[in-house]
Amino acid sequence: MAPTQTTEATLTASGLAAPERPGHPGHPRHHGQPPVPARTARLAIFALAIGAFGIGTAEFATMGLLPYIAEGFGATITEASHAVSLYAIGVVVGAPLIAALTARMERRRLLLGLAALFVIGSIGSTLAPSLPWMLVSRFITGLPHGAFLGIGAVVASTLVAPHRRATAMARVMLGLTVANIVGVPAAAALGAQFGWRTAYGMVALIGLLTLVAVFALVPRSKPALAPSIRGELRTLKRPQVILTLVAGSIGFGGMFAVYTFISPTMTDLTGLPESAVPWVLVCYGVGMTLGSLIAGPLVDRSIERSALLGVTSLGLVLLAFAALAHVPAVAIACVLLLGIAGSLFTTALQVRLLRESGDAPSVSAAMNHAAFNFANALGAFLGAVVVDAGLGYRSPALLGTGLTVVGLAVMVLAVVTHRRARTGTAPSPGS
């Protein structure tokens, strides 16, 4: 799961919020980019949002399709769940690697290459003749995930006036939120009605549409002079950066342990019909949207308290889900609350990471996507282990509660050490 909310604190931390003077290193004219007409900027941002929509759909569609994929390949649901883990591992590998190796590449050309790779992986998933081929295709599809979202948001910010950059980036990321409300449930409904390959075919078509839209609507742009790869990687040695990434990698794994198996849990444990699963996924998407709206003001007020509140809330909701998932109304309410708590936690960690690596944000921002997708892989894998052990579909939620407790402990350590380091200095806004 990629972060879906861009707040003023996010942009301030990354150096993108404040308007710059002409001639200032952050000013578009200084980067050799002429201003573009407002209509051109709007269309380009729309094209990038389509890509974010496709990526969000591709990331989460598998959760609603697991029973059909397992049946199609004659595999167990836990074996099919490796498709979730392999996509996430693709993001973990691709996000920092692509960000580091392509820092000086022309942006539109890079976005086209990333979209093409996404299409290739999606077509491979659609046509996969066996489960191993499916897993390889999912890995390929995940590779461009983090780089496309990160670079797309930055490109969008360079197409508008400095004071509009927050809005431009948020509109690109809106595609992820819409994917969880519309794209993922639509994929689940298509899979139930016409077979799971139809759902991945839809994702491939969205990727093709993104390819055409980026080619036609996004203007060429050269990146600003990027810091060296060695300089970027040095950022990852900072204790606060490490702690933030570890908190996200483990703490958010609990949500994915449950969400990976949401379809069989809702049908086998909660007792809902298969036709209701897409609507349960809609509830999660609505929760993400509400969480994004709530997270902005809370994180701008206090990054640290918001992160602690987010991971604590995740743990409590997972515990409630484990105890009461057999009650349909409570189970659906918990899915909604997971979306809200997850958005708060991811937004707080995103802003915290940018604050701690504001002088070299590229690889750190990519690692943020990687951290949450490591959580995806970890949660899906461990969830499969406990289900395979015969512990039932409550067990991923209990496991997830344990993961959030570990994530909370790491987050507390990060906050305490951060505050000790600031002892004797004036507090910074949003800390």
What does the domain layout of the chain look like in residue ranges?
A: 8-18+31-421
| Fold assignment, 8-18+31-421 | Growth Hormone; Chain: A; (1.20.1250)
Residues in the chain: 431
In angstroms, rounded to a whole number, what is the distance separating the alpha carbons of residues 213 and 216? 5
| pLDDT tens digits, one per residue of 239-290 | 888 898 899 989 989 888 998 888 899 999 999 998 888 889 889 889 888 8
* 32: alpha, beta or left? (left if phi > 0; alpha if psi -120 to 50): left
pLDDT of res. 425 = 52
Q: How far apart are CA 230 and CA 173, in angstroms?
A: 29
Whether the Cβ atoms of residue 66 and residue 87 lie closer than 8 Å to each other: no
Under a CB-based contact definition with an 8 Å cutoff, are residues 230 and 358 in contact? no
For residue 243, how many other CB atoms are within 10 A of its CB?
A: 20
- Percent of the chain at pLDDT exceeding 70: 84
pLDDT at 235 over 70: no
pLDDT tops 90 at residue 211: yes
How far is 314 from 324, CA to CA, in rounded Å? 15
What does the block give as tokens for 241? Answer: 């950066």
**Structure tokens of 105?**
């590449």
Largest CA distance in the chain: 64
pLDDT tens by residue, 134-144: 999 999 999 99
pLDDT of residue 142: 92
For residues 192 and 184, give the distance between their C-alpha atoms in angstroms, rounded to a whole number: 12
Helix, strand, coil percentages in the chain from 3-state DSSP, rounded to 5? 80, 0, 20
Residue 391 DSSP SS3: coil
Q: For 173-191, how does the pLDDT look when each residue is reduced to its tens digit (9 = 90+)?
A: 788 888 888 888 899 889 8
Query: What does pTM read for this prediction?
Result: 0.76
Its sign, for the CA torsion 9, 103, 87, 61, is: positive
403's tokens? 């993961």
With tokens 């509830």, the residue in question is 283
The sign one gets for the Cα dihedral 101, 107, 113, 117 is positive
- Mean pLDDT, range 381-406, rounded to an integer: 92
Q: What is the pLDDT of the chain when averaged over all its residues? A: 83
pLDDT at 5 over 60: no
Structure-block tokens of residue 320: 């409630």
